[in-house]
Amino acid sequence: TDASQCSTLRCADRYTPFEWWATCLWFPSVCLFVWVATVLWRGVMRSREEALLADCLDSYQRPVGCDDADTRIARRQAWDFLTRKRSYEAFRMGADCPAEHRLLASASRPYNLSLNDLCQRSVDKSRVPEHRTAMTFYMGVRWRTALGATLKMSFCLMFLSSMNATFLRNCAWTMTKEGYNSVVGFINELGTLVKSLTTAVTFLLSFYAIARIQRFWTIQRQGWLVQGRCHDLAMLAGAVVGDSEKDWRARYSLYRHLMLCFFFTYQPLTPNFRAVGFSSLSEAGLLLPGEQAILEKAHKGAGTVCEAWVAKWIQIHMNSESRQAAFQALRELRGGMASVGDTVDQRAPVSFESLLYIAVTALVWLIPFSPLTSDITDRELMVGRPHVAEVFGDAVVVAFYLSLLYMLRHLDSPFDNVGAPYDCLNPMAIMLTTEKKLRDYLTMPHSEYIDGTKEPELCDPMSVIIAKDSGVNVPMRGT
């Protein structure tokens, strides 16, 4: 019988019942398998990081600045900062400081981790081919990246979209044209709702994403600003302070107090620093017993007291010309350190965030039930294919919205190594580079040719010509 003369397409006898259900269910079965496999895979990845996650959560629950008799947790979580003990003797050695008393060459991870850093670290530990696209995909689905964290939900909604496609195919195959048109009308109404929500979500997300990314970059730049002002103070101090034993002890005090200011700026914002108390800082050589007793009595915080100590140091040890420049650098340093916490505390209104999350959540749950094609009224078109591309396209759109929402939520805490370890900033990296540069400014000897009293030794021009003819490279003055 011609299908065009039947009230249902099933009367055309194109498929046996077994063939029809096999045609309908193979794609939903594949989607279900992918979803279940993703759930199991992510569960295995989560179990591997349970210990690290427990330590990080313990850091969140720990009061800032608490002291424990056992500093094991503090040493593990802030290893880059606490692994080397500072001492006046090692500081006094300057350029002759032995390797075992020097600071680490670099932190375990950079200040801002990039995709290139992750790819470089993973290429030697995995069998992923050294290809940019392959490495990008491999790192993108890692544990607690934005895309990787939303894969389970994305594949779940892809499965629902495939079931919706199967439902519409069965309706087109078994129902009359009038009955199928009523189903199509309901699906088109959902499609209209999805279009309206898409417009609202696009506006809200674009506005919110730009603001959050700019805020993240601002916090990142403020860390470099604090670093630069510490360098300015150390550079001025190294140029004007004398070389007596008293002056060297004064330099060491400035070095310690600047690093304490840096540390106390990021301690309440960084989970890795929350377990570091005064006893841990004393063991690291940055805090002396008498100073610890003073900091414990601070009204606002220990960082404020350290800033006052630096100001007093400038007043005592610098002359009038350099003192003005030093106080200007100190004011900028204090403003930069205060801006870090102030910018982190900057939040969108609760009503706006709740509206955004509700709108995105509603959109991603409605997308799988929206129309699959531009013309779902064509029953022959609906029955003839499983609509793989349309379902996969729904999964891609859902994954994009969920990943963006996940990233924006965790960007509210830019130093959060629990929820977003690959996207967070690592202040220990710039603290380590700052500390090494402070030592260079305050301890390295000056060139003996600076004051002009010693005549530089110049090469004989004839010896240079002879050396060049023999193939030896002898640099001349100014080269």
Categorize the per-residue pLDDT at 174 as very low, low, confident or very high, splitting at 50, 70 and 90: confident
> Greater confidence, 297 or 174?
297
**DSSP of 205-241:** HHHHHHHHHHHHHHHHHHHHHHHHHHHHHHHHHHHHS
Each residue of 283-298: b (16+ CB within 10 Å) or e?
A: ebbbbeeebbeebeee
Q: pLDDT tens digits for 358-371?
A: 999 999 999 998 88
Q: pLDDT tens digits for 102-145?
A: 887 777 788 887 777 766 665 555 555 556 666 667 666 766 77
Share of the chain above pLDDT 70, in %: 78
Q: pLDDT tens digits for 186-243?
A: 888 888 889 889 988 988 888 899 999 999 999 999 999 999 999 999 999 988 877 8
**If we measure between CA atoms, which residue out of 368, 415, 384 comes closest to residue 163?**
368
Secondary structure, 3-state, 261-281: HHHHHHCCCCHHHHCCCHHHH
> What's the Cα-to-Cα distance from 323 to each of 63, 314, 368, 442, rounded to whole Å?
38, 6, 67, 16
Least confident of 158-167, 260-269, 329-338, 411-420: 411-420
List residues bridging with 112 in a β-sheet: 425
Give mean pLDDT, residues 372-376. Answer: 70
Give yes or no for residue 374 having a pLDDT over 80: no
Give yes or no for residue 474 having a pLDDT over 50: no
Categorize the per-residue pLDDT at 66 as very low, low, confident or very high, splitting at 50, 70 and 90: very low
Rounded to two decimals, the pTM is: 0.78
**If we measure between CA atoms, which residue out of 311, 316, 344, 308 comes closest to residue 326?**
311
User: What is the average pLDDT score of the chain?
Assistant: 80
**Separation of alpha carbons 475 and 477, rounded Å:** 7
Each residue of 206-222: b (16+ CB within 10 Å) or e?
A: eebeeebeebbeebeeb
